Structure 1
Amino acid sequence: MKLIHGRFFMSFLYVNESKCKKDGACAMACPMGLLQVEPGQSIPKAIPGAETLCLQCGHCLCACPHAALSLTTLKMEDCVPLKKELHVGLEQAAQLLKSRRSIRRYKSEPLERCDIEALLETARYAPTGKNTQPLSWLVVYDAALVHTLAAHVADWMKDMLRQQHPMAAWLQMDTLVKTWDAGADLLLRHAPHLIVAHAPKANPMAPQSATIALTTFEIAAAAAGLGACWAGFFQLAAGMWEPLQKALNLPEGHISHGALMLGRPAVKYYRIPTRKQPDVIWR
């Protein structure tokens, strides 16, 4: 550990001694227990091997009220201060979450790219196992290409019907295909955009990470007055239908782990429908 210009440097961690109040908040926040401190007596010290074990989650930085420490890989000045005036109470959050609808009718005009980028900016903060952040994104912005992908889903369903696959009857694919052939898209709902979360197939963190990130994206879209809906038929086809996989042209080794239709809602909602009571076991 070295003292340089009033800051103690410990490999990847450095502490500003003039700011540090020795309160131990950083050590308490670290999910891996990598910092040691005697409250009121010493500045935080990293345990041996901490640099290798660190998740780069930033908990230690964000829990320090005095902005007294940084990592070599994450600077205090890069962490955005919380704004108290933007705090969301439970009542507001509950209304947003309960009033969120799966949007299946969209206005035809495209969104501004900056609107989609803002949603991705929020979704990238979704939690991931061990902060691995394994996801990449494919934004199918062109509505014509979304329609082409929907056609691949229809072709997959036709093949499933030919095989008499059990899933075909369960998902009523015969009705969906007839509707598609008649010119109505119940597969991707004539959505102007499609958002695909993809990651390496071998990454065990990817499926859950994609579900959490896409859910975050969907809630952010609702907060922005936009509409999204999980593209379940698309996701099933993307895992089974090679022509669709080729059309997606994802990076080598990557697969789709989930997708959302996205656009501006064509229908406005004024109420929250009821849902069944939670089935809970307390122990």
Structure 2
Amino acid sequence: MINFCLDQERCNKCGACAMDCPASIIEIQADFPRVFPYNEESCYQCEHCLAICPTAAISILDINPQTDCLPLKGMLPSPEQMEALVRGRRSSRHYQKKNVEKETVDWLLEMTAHAPTGVNSRSQMFTLVDDMEVMDKIRQEAMAGLKATIASGNLPEKFQYFAQIAEAWENGIDTIFRGAPHMLIISSPEDAPCPEADPFIALSYFELCAATKNIGTLWCGLAKYTLFDILPELGRKIGVPENHKSVYIMLFGKTKLKYARTVQRKNRAINRVRL
């Protein structure tokens, strides 16, 4: 049951909910919107109807639009603020040796849950390392496994450069995990509608939200290669299901360094279609 409920006294009969429903299951009957029971299984649970209603007349999935939702008017960042956030985004490689507060991590995960997914499937798994002691154990086990793989001659050809990474580790340099206290792995099952895109979209949301809390982040391909290409048994030990083939990793934590300004980037290739 999706519990589509309408407060007819609040409804202004604008029809926006029916027009915006991506599944086209909201019908107008006697000037009021409704969802017939036989259509409920087709609901994407996107909550567009609740969000677009100008008078807060619609409730769905037991969500109260007046108490459970934030109003958008006057709450959105200005274009200048968004520009500063996007252009000010940096990859952080120097972290403090302390845990991020649980309340902050929980808020970031809650915000990341709002990232769009194919057909609103929301089938990703969020594998979180939120304790720096656990992160250190993963770091140590990964480097021990990497050294054993190199010693046995089983390091894949395309990852031969990891031999230099192992040497750097012996000299106290953590090239892979950068000393980060935390790690977020987002993965999607093979049968998800858009398994390749969903993890990256979610991590993009996480990254930008983290910046607003002064939390540094790093898209970490080296960690992904280590845990899921070179040492896949370690990736499974961490808890990522074997059928989750689309996987990416973000390191995060409180940073040692603070950036003072944005940088300059230009699109190098723009194809403007003219037919």
Map Cα deviations across residues 189-233 of structure 1 (whole Å, 9 max, x no partner): 011111222444543434422111111111111111110111211
Instruction: Kindly indicate whether residue 20 of structure 2 is the aligned counterpart of residue 29 of structure 1.
Output: yes
What residue number does 2:9 align with?
A: 18
Question: Match of 1:66, as an amino acid?
Answer: T
Greater RCO, CA 8 A, separation 6+ = 2
Alpha-carbon distance change, 278 to 91 in structure 1, aligned in 2, over 3 angstroms = farther
Query: Which stretch of the first structure deviates more once superposed, 152-161 or 232-241?
Result: 152-161
Query: Which stretch of the first structure deviates more once superposed, 230-239 or 243-252?
Result: 243-252
Task: Find the aligned partners of 1:155 and 1:255 in 2 and give their Cα distance.
Answer: 24
Instruction: Kindly indicate whether residue 178 of structure 2 is the aligned counterpart of residue 189 of structure 1.
Output: yes
Task: Find the aligned partners of 2:193 and 2:150 in 1 and give their Cα distance.
Answer: 28
The 8 Å contact of residues 196 and 256 in structure 1, kept in 2 or not, is answered as no
Select which of 81, 87, 92 maps to 1:98: 87
Instruction: Kindly indicate whether residue 238 of structure 2 is the aligned counterpart of residue 248 of structure 1.
Output: yes
Instruction: Kindly indicate whether residue 69 of structure 2 is the aligned counterpart of residue 69 of structure 1.
Output: no
* TM-score in terms of structure 1 length: 0.84
CA displacement at 1:277 relative to structure 2:
2.8
What root-mean-square deviation, in Å, do the aligned CA atoms of Structure 1 and Structure 2 show? 2.7
What residue number does 2:117 align with?
A: 128
CA displacement at 1:239 relative to structure 2:
2.0
What residue number does 2:42 align with?
A: 53
Alpha-carbon distance change, 71 to 113 in structure 1, aligned in 2, over 3 angstroms = closer
Question: Match of 1:263, as an amino acid?
Answer: G
**Identity, % of aligned positions:** 28
Map Cα deviations across residues 146-199 of structure 1 (whole Å, 9 max, x no partner): 233233443555436824633224xx3232111012221011001111122244
Instruction: Kindly indicate whether residue 171 of structure 2 is the aligned counterpart of residue 175 of structure 1.
Output: no
CA displacement at 1:30 relative to structure 2:
0.8
Query: Which stretch of the first structure deviates more once superposed, 180-189 or 269-278?
Result: 269-278
Alpha-carbon distance change, 90 to 73 in structure 1, aligned in 2, over 3 angstroms = same
Instruction: Kindly indicate whether residue 250 of structure 2 is the aligned counterpart of residue 280 of structure 1.
Output: no
* TM-score in terms of structure 2 length: 0.86
Alpha-carbon distance change, 243 to 36 in structure 1, aligned in 2, over 3 angstroms = closer
What residue number does 2:133 align with?
A: 144
**Residues 221-260 of structure 1 aligned to structure 2 (within 5 Å):** 221-240=210-229, 241-250=231-240, 257-260=247-250
Unaligned regions of 5+ residues in structure 1, if any? 1-9
CA displacement at 1:250 relative to structure 2:
4.0
Unaligned regions of 5+ residues in structure 2, if any? none
The 8 Å contact of residues 3 and 61 in structure 2, kept in 1 or not, is answered as yes
